[in-house]
Amino acid sequence: MRLRRPVARKLSVLAVSAAVVSVGAAAPPAAQRTAGEKVPVAVGYGGAVSSVDADASAAGIEVLRKGGNAVDAAVATAAALGVTEPYSAGVGGGGYFVYYDAKSRTVHTIDGRETAPLSADQNLFTENGKPLAFADAVTSGLSVGTPGTPATWATALSHWGSRKLGTVLRPAERLARDGFTVDSTFRSQTAANETRFRSFPDTAELFLPGGALPVVGSTFKNPDLARTYEELGRKGVDALYRGDLGRDVVATVNKPPVDPASGWNARPGRLTTADLAAYRAKLQAPTRTNYRGLDVYSIAPSSSGGTTVGEALNILERTDLSRASEAQYLHRYIEASRISFADRGRWVGDPAFEDVPTRELLSQRYADSRACLIKDDAVLTSPLAPGDPRHPAACAGPGTAAPTTYEGENTTHLTVADKWGNVVAYTLTIEQTGGSGITVPGRGFLLNNELTDFSFAPANPAVHDPNLPGPGKRPRSSISPTIVLDRHGRPVVALGSPGGSTIITTVLQVLTEFLDRGLPLVDAIATPRASQRNAAQTELEPGLYDSPLRAQLEGIGHSFKLNPEIGAATGVQRLADGRWLAAAETVRRGGGSAQVVRPAR
């Protein structure tokens, strides 16, 4: 696909001027970079890795240089993020893995979402007949789902990898043992969790060394996690699902090791060894949407990412966004997001429990029936009622809206490509920053709080909620790892982002900025973001909130509130000459790290 020339921009990212590197520029050669330096864009040969962290990207590059493929490198990068981004991802969490196989030109996915205990029912978060306060549920054993990340790694490697788990875990094991350099993001995330971390002696001992916040520039080591990785590499993931590691997790969940002096009521969970033994990472077909002659692949439910991004793209299909003004483009993008989120809330849940109309949600016929709601001179009112994808009615009238549940924002995403042309987009998480706040004693990792992604109680008893807890059920997610192929089945771009429910809008905006507006990938990632999720107000980053565009959009009825930072995307792009371009954030989350095996000079 030939992309149009970039649209001129005068907006700043996060309200500060941030120079971004153009599509043709390469990262400085490795010899010219200092250890741990983050570069937001790199171009070259032999494969590429993009993540939020330089050490994690380097782990993936190390595996690629030793002959591993994109799947091997993705697992290595993910494991390293478990060391350097322990508040976002790790052994105690889950995620969604999207893989493009260059030989067959096909896309495959793994649902590695955490599951509720087999004993759970829709009253999981109800106490004395009332839903628990969110803060009480988060920092508790009740919030912990059966981890899916190790099973995801094992499943991906067994089906598409070329290296054993122990081999690809070695860079992360070494990083955990030898340590990494603390940056301001790591310190600030620790500070934000300091109070609840102090409630759990094992968490405080690990993340508050010597009883204090880690110092920027110091070396942070996690020997317990190094030993955990070594055990997983030696014994396989059955160490978690059927072994001593799993028994330690269950004991921790069911009797959280809280400091009695803290006064915190760390409610016990219900996880059992039977829950761990029953867990499976699910191989499943991706979602597929045709957009501008391209095939957009993503993850199907239990995540709502693929259906919601896909529906929004279908709604936008009839509009030439390349010719729209900046205000017109943002208006259309915001309204398409609003509509697709209205449908997400009503229809998407775990398909093992819910009748999810995935095919119908992604039909152009349904999108057209919803797109006619959008007017150029007026704004839809939120919360907007859902449509019925099985019986599309053009511009359907009022109904009862479904709520958007809260999702933690501190997930992480990585994107990898190899010299054979294989591509991985992988988003992994422990839910919000710091997960449940509970560290498994002697194991070096935090447990997730993913079960708080369930609805705690029906928002409206008259409307079915597909996201209530259930036995072994996966809570709905917004994770949206995405791979775009051209009409010949070759990769154009792959990307994803963290950010809770803002993941969907971030991926949608980056895709349309790149595919429609003609921005280079790193610029599409860096541009200021807007996020509308069927709410009364649309969230804007400072670069948009403080711009003249805000007043233009308010003039037709939009209402906005400030969000300092939305998402932290990464991506890779296949260039026409066969080189890979890796792109990451320039500013958000302290900037990301794009690396290639052999940089182009």
Catalytic residues: 411
Distance CA 582, CA 40 (A): 8
In 451-546 the beta strands, taken as DSSP E runs, fall at 482-485, 491-496, 530-531, 538-540
Distance CA 67, CA 538 (A): 46
- Within 13 A of 87's CA, how many CA atoms are on the CB side? 23
Distance CA 223, CA 399 (A): 55
The answer to whether the CB of 40 falls within 8 A of the CB of 591 is: yes
Which residues are CB-neighbours of 229 under 8 A, at least 6 positions away? 79, 169, 172, 173, 176
The answer to whether the CB of 511 falls within 8 A of the CB of 519 is: no
Of residues 431, 453, 481, the one with CA closest to residue 109: 481
The answer to whether the CB of 512 falls within 8 A of the CB of 526 is: no
Q: Could you report how far apart the first and last alpha carbons of the chain are, in Å?
A: 25
Burial of 273 (0-12, 13-18, 19+ CB in 10 A): middle
Distance CA 236, CA 187 (A): 33
Enumerate the β-bridge partners of residue 232.
none
Q: Is 88 helix (H, G, I), strand (E, B) or coil?
A: coil
The answer to whether the CB of 448 falls within 8 A of the CB of 145 is: yes
DSSP 14: T
Q: Is 358 helix (H, G, I), strand (E, B) or coil?
A: helix
Cis ω for the linkage preceding 383 (within 30 of 0): yes
CA distances from 74 to 2, 69, 78, 477, 493 (A): 28, 9, 6, 21, 16
The answer to whether the CB of 213 falls within 8 A of the CB of 190 is: yes
Q: What is the maximum alpha-carbon separation in the chain?
A: 65
Q: What is the CA radius of gyration of the chain?
A: 22
